[in-house]
Structure 1
Amino acid sequence: MKTAVTTGGTDGTGHGLAPIHLQRGGRAVVVGTGQAKAGPGAWVIQTDLELIDGNGRLTDPLSAGLDTIDVLRRGAPLQRSTRPDTADGVESGFTLTHLSRFLGSHGLAGLLGRAADPVALDLGGAGPVGSHLGAPARRLHDCTREVLAR
């Protein structure tokens, strides 16, 4: 059974990934805001990845509860029009787009390293969408679907 961990898994793109993984017989771990939005069957870890300690609240239970992680999907970070600081005194956009991904990747490296064919995938943030993007966007979409199907 493959294990997939998805941050940002209770909204947006991440919200649709856990049910697909569960339907395929895998184990889904969703990091987000709560069980009700994650759906039945998923292990939900509630934490705020904007906070440095929040990243520990992700890596610690995963390290204690799993033998391996086959897929680590890091969801698109929340996009804001302002740049507030976190309680740690760090700009929140930086913590979500860079720091939490660095801390999570290093904190979960051992679990990923035990998988036969590990995948770490960063889903992008908000940007322009639509048919006007043409073939490059379709190729990226197809490639993303192929990786997510693992």
Structure 2
Amino acid sequence: MKTFVISGGTDGIGKAVALARLERGDQVVVLGRDADKGARIVAAAEESGAADRVHFIQVDLSLVDATRKAVAEIRSRFAAVDGLVLCAQHFRSTRLVTEEGFENSFALYYLSRFVLSHELADLLEAAPAPVVVNVCGPGIPMGEVRWDDLGRERDYTGIDALMQGSRLNDLLGVGFARQRPGSRIRYVLLNPGGVRTSFSGEYDPAMAEQIEAMRKAAKPVEEGILPVLAALDTPPDQPVSASMMGEPLPLEGPAFDAEDADRLHELTVGLLAARTA
């Protein structure tokens, strides 16, 4: 029996992956903010006879301190983690700053994934074939990292914040592997394409109309999770890899630049250290 930790596991792709792994006899730790949705995951597991293999941790992943408390709880329960699946995301048409002082999209879509990836690394190393699957946006030719304004204080738009988050996650994957030469952990950057999920977010009218059109054209979630399940079943040979809708992507160009990955890692460590202080 394998153990998987899934952030954003109460909805959409994360929920579907959690239920699929439970059906296969695995143990699943679901991280999510909504207690009612968490209860529904637990109830579904109970109905299928998997009540003893599902664990819900209620956590606001947009908060670094809360994310680290969730990490501590995982540590208290498990000696090893076979796979970490990163799905938590929430779109905001208007800019929001968390109580810790970080822009919400940056905190949820990037910082939580950085903290979970690095601070669960030792539990992953304890598993025989560990893998991190970061469901993000490799292969999308959009988005820039605003190095002097990661919180998008200037001219904020929800799309720009989302696309920057995708670029940051590309660099997170590259940086994770560079920080751990020789590690057995495989870091997979995975873009499933358009998937018919809830598209969690708070949208202005124009964006809401676009989202509805996207939802109608998107593939069913059962199809969208297949590349995720495949990566969990058979992690790639490479320390870091990227794919879009099941097709491998070359780790080339500015999206995967090693120097930028190192720069982002150092910058993020500094931000988190300042938060701790």
Q: Return 118-127 or 38-47, whichever deviates more.
A: 118-127
5+ residue gaps, structure 1? 134-139
The yes-or-no answer on 1:3 pairing with 2:6 is no
Q: Which residue of 1 aligns with 2:121?
A: 109
Q: Which residue of 1 aligns with 2:144?
A: none
Question: What's the % identity of the aligned pairs?
Answer: 36
Deviation at 1:37, TM superposition (A): 2.7
Whole-Å separation in 1 of the counterparts to 2:225 and 2:6? 18
After superposition, where does 1:100-139 map in structure 2 within 5 Å?
A: 100-124=112-136, 129=194
Whole-Å separation in 1 of the counterparts to 2:80 and 2:55? 15
Runs of 4+ deviating beyond 6 Å: 125-128
Q: Which residue of 1 aligns with 2:41?
A: 38
Deviation at 1:81, TM superposition (A): 1.1
Q: Report how many residues are paired.
A: 144
Q: Could you say which structure has the greater relative contact order, defined with CA pairs below 8 angstroms and 6 or more residues apart?
A: 1
After superposition, where does 1:68-87 map in structure 2 within 5 Å?
A: 68-87=80-99
Whether the aligned pair in 1 keeps the contact of 2:67 and 2:112 (CA below 8 Å) is yes
Whole-Å separation in 2 of the counterparts to 1:114 and 1:45? 22
After superposition, where does 1:40-59 map in structure 2 within 5 Å?
A: 40=45, 41=51, 42-59=54-71
Largest Rg, 1 or 2:
2
Whether the aligned pair in 1 keeps the contact of 2:8 and 2:86 (CA below 8 Å) is yes
Deviation at 1:48, TM superposition (A): 0.4
After superposition, where does 1:7-22 map in structure 2 within 5 Å?
A: 7-22=7-22
Query: Deviations along 1:92-150, whole A, 9 cap, x unmatched?
Result: 100112111111111101100101110101112689737x99xxxxxx97644421445
Whole-Å separation in 1 of the counterparts to 2:232 and 2:72? 25
Q: Which amino acid aligns with 2:90?
A: L
Q: Which amino acid aligns with 1:26?
A: D
Whether the aligned pair in 2 keeps the contact of 1:76 and 1:122 (CA below 8 Å) is no
Whole-Å separation in 1 of the counterparts to 2:225 and 2:7? 20
Query: SS of the counterpart of 2:6?
Result: strand
Q: Which amino acid aligns with 1:37?
A: R
Whether the aligned pair in 1 keeps the contact of 2:9 and 2:31 (CA below 8 Å) is yes
Q: Which amino acid aligns with 1:147?
A: A
Q: Which amino acid aligns with 1:36?
A: A
Q: Which residue of 2 aligns with 1:97?
A: 109
Whether the aligned pair in 1 keeps the contact of 2:17 and 2:225 (CA below 8 Å) is no
Whether the aligned pair in 1 keeps the contact of 2:29 and 2:56 (CA below 8 Å) is yes
Whether the aligned pair in 2 keeps the contact of 1:55 and 1:100 (CA below 8 Å) is yes
TM-score, scaled to structure 2: 0.47
Whether the aligned pair in 2 keeps the contact of 1:76 and 1:124 (CA below 8 Å) is no
Deviation at 1:66, TM superposition (A): 0.2
Q: Which amino acid aligns with 1:146?
A: A
TM-score, scaled to structure 1: 0.84
Query: SS of the counterpart of 1:5?
Result: strand
Whole-Å separation in 2 of the counterparts to 1:21 and 1:85? 35
Structure 1 5/102 Cα, relative in aligned 2: closer, same or farther at 3 Å?
Answer: same
